[in-house]
Amino acid sequence: MIKKVRDVAELISTTFSLDVRVVDGNGATVLEHGKDRVANPVYPTKQALLSGCGFEFVEQKTMPFVHLSPFAESYLLQNIEDVGVMIVGPSVSQRLTPAELTGIVRDQKLLVNRYVMQDFYDSLPVHSKSELRHIARMLHYLLFEKRIEESEILSSDQMKAGDLNSTATTLHPTMMLAKQKQELIFHQDPLLEKKFSDLLQKGQPEKLEAYMKSLPKMQLGVLATTSFLRNKKNLGIAGITIATRSAMAGGVNSEEAYTLSDHYIQRIEEITDYARIDALLSEAYLTFARLVEKRRYSRHKREIILAQNYVLNHVYEKLTLKKVATAVSLNPSYLSSLFSRESGQSLSAYILEARINEAKSLLTMTDSPISEICAWLQFNDQSYFTKVFKQAVGVTPKKYRDGVG
């Protein structure tokens, strides 16, 4: 097995420019591959280095483990029975600016030379959290010839989130959002904020989670230059504000929404480890979305919600009363009367409304021709699409895209 481990370590190191070492249970190095990098000055001893890379988290675990240190380094760890723990890294998810690095030094009260720190961070390879997870899957397969899903990969975010939630017994967080949301990236892109708000306002937590996993990695927007932690907190509070506003637009009582907002802002302010902020924000966004979803369910019968969700999830397909009724296991005529009675509009009107709302999103978030959007949403006649769009929105699709109205 040791030869296989050595070969895999060399392959991972050379392919991804990552340092790889294997450490046994006593902390002794079994093997290592990688460049002769500048040592991280914040770790004065080998034991401190092992602690910083998350070595203590992986004992008895069989799945890969991604650890983010308090100093913005990422490590990938894999326990190998009878051999030790393979430690891959460190890497960073993005290049740190001098201001951000100064913020980390101040937050952690480090007595180190900032220029030595800068040399160290500049020497590290850049790999996003998503990339590290792909590397983890590859590593696990090369070692054990067993495929694993990305959701099976563990992270220190999840463990730290558990500490954060110990006093929040009424909340049910989902901590598997990708670290690509490491910063509030829609702070810099209003289109991303619009999509985020739309999913939250509709009360669609599953789609919100999938969307946040798909977000591209962007540079950190700086709201405070003196502290990396303060900057993360400010961005987090901005995200909570957006979520609160979207939840109220989705039907949540304003007092309830503001109470929840105050709860999360207070918890953000209490955090001293910036890596914990992301997990808390993940919890907050999904809690707001689930609250909107709950309000929707309380207003309508379950069958109506199922029908509405089916329409929203199949808005690009041909939809008929019979098709929707079959999907929710109801008689078409019964669904028709029930839908009208409970929601106040016919199913066909709801389908049209869903297509118009999707068209609005496509018009603002893509450069696709109006003719293509029309065809995607099953409008066979562009003039009819323009007519019904103007009736619903007040302006034509072109004027809506141009920002008129």
Q: How far is CA 99 from the centre of its chain?
A: 25
Q: Per-residue DSSP letters for 310-339? A: HHHHTTTS---HHHHHHHTT--HHHHHHHH
pTM of this prediction exceeds 0.85: no
In terms of DSSP bridges, do strands 65-68 and 74-80 run parallel, antiparallel, or are they unpaired? Answer: antiparallel
Locus of tokens 């760890």: 77
CA–CA gap between residue 131 and residue 120 (Å, rounded) = 21
User: Residue 188: what are its φ and ψ, rounded to 5°?
Assistant: -110, -5
Same domain for 197 and 94? no
Backbone angles phi, psi at 84, to 5 degrees: 150, -155
Compute CA distances 74 → 32, 67, 88, 236, 320, whole Å. Answer: 18, 6, 9, 21, 50
Specify whether 321 is located in the same domain as 394.
yes
Distance CA 201, CA 263 (A): 20
**Can you give the pLDDT at residue 386?**
94
The burial of 200, by beta-carbon neighbours within 10 Å (0-12 exposed, 13-18 middle, 19 or more buried), is given as buried
- 238 to 116, 245, 266, 286: CA distances (angstroms): 33, 11, 13, 16
Residue 393 and residue 337 share a domain: yes
Phi-psi region of 31 (alpha: psi -120 to 50; beta: other; left: phi over 0): beta
Q: The domain spanning residue 312 has which CATH number?
A: 1.10.10.60
User: Do 166 and 224 belong to one domain?
Assistant: yes
CA distance 319 to 373: 17
User: Which of these three, 250, 270, 298, is where a domain ends?
Assistant: 298
Number of domains comprising the chain: 3
Residue 263 and residue 310 in one domain? no
What span, in angstroms and rounded, lies between the C-alpha atoms of 53 and 51? 6
87 beta partners: 21, 77
Q: Clarify whether residues 122 and 188 are in a common domain.
A: no
The verdict on 292 and 319 lying in the same domain is no
Strand order in the sheet with 74-80: 29-33, 20-23, 84-91, 74-80, 65-68, 154-155
Question: How many C-beta neighbours within 10 Å does residue 310 have?
Answer: 17
Q: Write down which residue in 254, 280, 298 finishes a domain.
A: 298
What CATH number is associated with residue 117? 3.30.450
Nearest-Å Rg of the Cα atoms of the chain is: 25
Domain of residue 338 covers 300-401
Q: Do residue 38 and residue 122 come from a single domain? A: yes
Q: Which pLDDT belongs to residue 221?
A: 43
Do 169 and 98 belong to one domain?
no
Whether 161 and 288 map to the same domain: the answer is yes
Burial class (CB in 10 A: 0-12, 13-18, 19+), 293: buried
In whole angstroms, what is the distance from residue 207 CA to residue 199 CA? 7
Reading the block at residue 96, the tokens are 């740190």
Task: Tell whether 272 and 163 lie within a shared domain.
Answer: yes
- Which domain-ending residue is among 298, 332, 364? 298
Question: What is the distance between the alpha carbons of residues 196 and 245, in angstroms, rounded to a whole number?
Answer: 12
Question: What is the mean pLDDT, run by run of 10 residues, along the chain of 405 residues?
Answer: 91 92 85 75 68 68 84 88 90 80 68 74 87 91 90 68 36 27 43 78 86 57 54 81 84 81 87 80 91 76 82 90 93 92 89 91 84 91 93 92 72
Question: Do both 105 and 60 map to the same domain?
Answer: yes
pLDDT of residue 60: 62
Spell out the residues 6+ positions from residue 403 whose beta carbon is closer than 8 angstroms to its own: none
